[in-house]
Amino acid sequence: MSFSWPWALLSLLVIPLIFAIREWARRRRRRAAVRVTSIALVRGALPGRTRWTRKIPPALFVTGLALLAVGAARPQASVPVPQTSVTILLALDTSGSMCSTDVDPNRLTIARKAATEFIESQRGGPRIGLVTFAGTAGLLVPPTDDTDSLIEALDGLTVSRGTAIGQAVLTSIDAIAEVDPSVASTGASPGDGGSGHAGAAIVVLTDGANTQGVDPQLAAQEAALRRVRVFPIGFGTTNPAPMVCDNSQFDGRGFGGWGGRGGGSGRGGFDRGRNPRTIDEPALKRMAQTTGGSYHRAENADQLQSALDTLPGSFTVVHQRVDTASAFAAGGALLITAALSLSLWWNRPRIPTRA
């Protein structure tokens, strides 16, 4: 809990002052006490209350004053609030290592299927855009709520050389800026950034490490300045496996020493048995930490789908600060009213009964 006017908490000092005045008045009454000869008369004049009930009105009164003092400081609580407008950019790695068959039939095919299911599950919800990256990054589909066009674009994914993770993040930021005026493009000043997170997030699915282009940490800092969170997913294992893709998954430009299109089987191959580059998990974790996102690891199709399924809660629900001063003020007023009412009721004149 935080306070807009913390200096108002000084009003809590009124409470010990009240106790001091009460103690002073009690001692004064003791000095001015008169002697009576009949205890029966004293008992008849006293209200019919037990010792602990006499403490209830003062306790309620003091608690009510404390609540009013806290309310005067304008307390704010962080509460989960659904976002009405969310933009998600899926940045998919299409480097050559995505042809690795350590995940059957290969990483690219499983990644495409998982992305398709994720997009289907968000139908009618947030806007989703697609960015692919290998040696460079490009916007495949601008953020849209047209689920069919997104799925159709996924069917045409092809692999190429290189892994430009940082460039993929910057490209995603620019795509978000086109549809969300609260997010500045990479060529504009991000301003003061405001508070909380923007209604946008970037999911980076990669199986390797940045090999060219912008450093991922610099790109993450740009995203953080714009309050855009990055959620990296490291996909694949470190087990040596052949890298084989269908002909439809090649970009047609060849891969030099890695190989080109396959032969009569209709399947192309890279150096078989090559150990794919290990995922740069430290860099991906730093990206997530810098932007307020989270890192996820997936070594098979089920883990990848699970990672994607857990992300929407982070996108569609944000924590906002809500002013709770009215609740404290209402509670304080209610307690003070109750204290005064009980005090008047218990101290009402008693009509002695005849014996």
- CATH number of the 83-320 domain: 3.40.50.410
What average pLDDT does range 226-230 have in this prediction?
Answer: 94
pLDDT level of residue 146 (50, 70, 90 thresholds): very high
What average pLDDT does range 204-211 have in this prediction?
Answer: 94
Q: Is the pLDDT of residue 205 over 90?
A: yes
pLDDT tens-digit map of 194-203: 556 778 899 9
Residue 267: its pLDDT value, please?
Answer: 44
Helix axes 216-225, 281-291, angle to 10 degrees: 10
Q: Is the pLDDT of residue 47 over 80?
A: no
Q: Is the pLDDT of residue 243 over 80?
A: yes
Q: Is the pLDDT of residue 55 over 80?
A: no
Cis ω before 242 (30° cut-off from 0): no
13 burial (CB, 10 Å; 0-12 / 13-18 / 19+) is exposed
Residue 339: its pLDDT value, please?
Answer: 78
Closest CA to 98 of 251, 306, 265: 251
Residue 351: its pLDDT value, please?
Answer: 59
pLDDT tens-digit map of 160-181: 999 999 999 999 999 999 999 8
pLDDT tens-digit map of 247-287: 777 765 544 434 433 333 334 444 444 445 579 999 999 99
Angle at 297 between CA 175 and CA 141, to 5 degrees: 20
Q: Domain residues of the chain, as ranges?
A: 2-78+324-346, 83-320
Q: Is the pLDDT of residue 42 over 60?
A: no
Residue 27: its pLDDT value, please?
Answer: 76
Query: Which residue did the predictor score with more confidence, 3 or 114?
Result: 114
Distance (Å, rounded) from C-alpha 222 to C-alpha 167? 11
Residue 121 parent element (H or E): helix 107-121
Residue 284: its pLDDT value, please?
Answer: 97
What average pLDDT does range 7-35 have in this prediction?
Answer: 73
Is there a contact between 267 and 245 (Cβ–Cβ < 8 Å)?
Answer: yes
pLDDT tens-digit map of 317-351: 555 667 777 887 888 788 888 878 877 776 666 65
What average pLDDT does range 130-157 have in this prediction?
Answer: 95
Is this model's pTM higher than 0.75 or not? no
Residue 56: its pLDDT value, please?
Answer: 80
Residue 334 parent element (H or E): helix 325-346
Write down the mean pLDDT value for the chain: 80
| DSSP H stretches of helix in 5-106 | 14-31, 39-45, 56-72
State both tokens at 355.
């014996």
